[in-house]
Structure 1
Amino acid sequence: MNAPNLKSLSAVSKPRRVFSKRTRARSVSVGRQMVEGLLLLAIGSGLLAFLSWLPQRIDAMVVVSEAIADLIRGLGQLLEAFLGLAAVILIALLLVAGLLALVSGGFRLVKSFTRLINPVRTKPSKPIQRRPRSRR
């Protein structure tokens, strides 16, 4: 029962080198390093220029304070909704408990009235006769 994708151990041609030093990765060329450096400098200076221009257009503190106020207002509304839902669930549970108490109380009253009207007469108990076990 050999699977077609599995090779036997004797078919492996190269021995594995477990603790041998790996070959060094090729170093990046100087031109590529220079291009990457220039791109990173351009991105950094562009971001800093944008951030220095932004407060002229938008008052950052107003934006941040409005965002925080909206967040707090939203969290307050979410908490209020959860409390409302919990109140509705609590009222529903109390309603079910009250209905259960009414139904079970009604059944017990009916049962007690039927026992009052028709009392069960107990028969005198007879001694239990046991059959003797056969011994083998």
Structure 2
Amino acid sequence: MAGAIQVFIRTNTFKQNAPQYQRTVTIPLPEPSADTRVLTRWATVILEIIYKSGFAYQKAGVMLSELRRRNSIQRRLFAASGADERSESLRRVMDQINSRSGQGTLKPLVTGLDPAWRMRRDQFSPAWTTNWNELPVALAR
């Protein structure tokens, strides 16, 4: 479970003639969480704070820190009972559907229904060491 979340954005530092901007904000979460909905909501709040229009952003990211095991977390005294179990059940169902029907079949609405922006993949590195489908094949003749 994450105890803090960091969001960063930056422009291309190698384009000297373009307007430059970069900002990073880290906040502690009110309660450690592994709930994608909670983490996405906080990341969106931080992004709304640090985003400035008029810049050509090159890189953005989210990092989770203060990671802890679920069983080592001390809960708030008056936390809603059963909320964690429901959240965990929802996450498991979403993961099952996404693994069966393809990644991104179910996703938080805050990520958008059909974003106009897509990550460029023209210089994507091969994943030879992490993806079985991309392993090079050698044929002996």
Greater RCO between the two (CA within 8 Å, min separation 6)? 2
The TM-score by the shorter chain falls in which range?
under 0.3
More helix by percentage: 1
More strand by percentage: 2
Return the TM-score normalized by structure 1.
0.19
Larger radius of gyration: 1
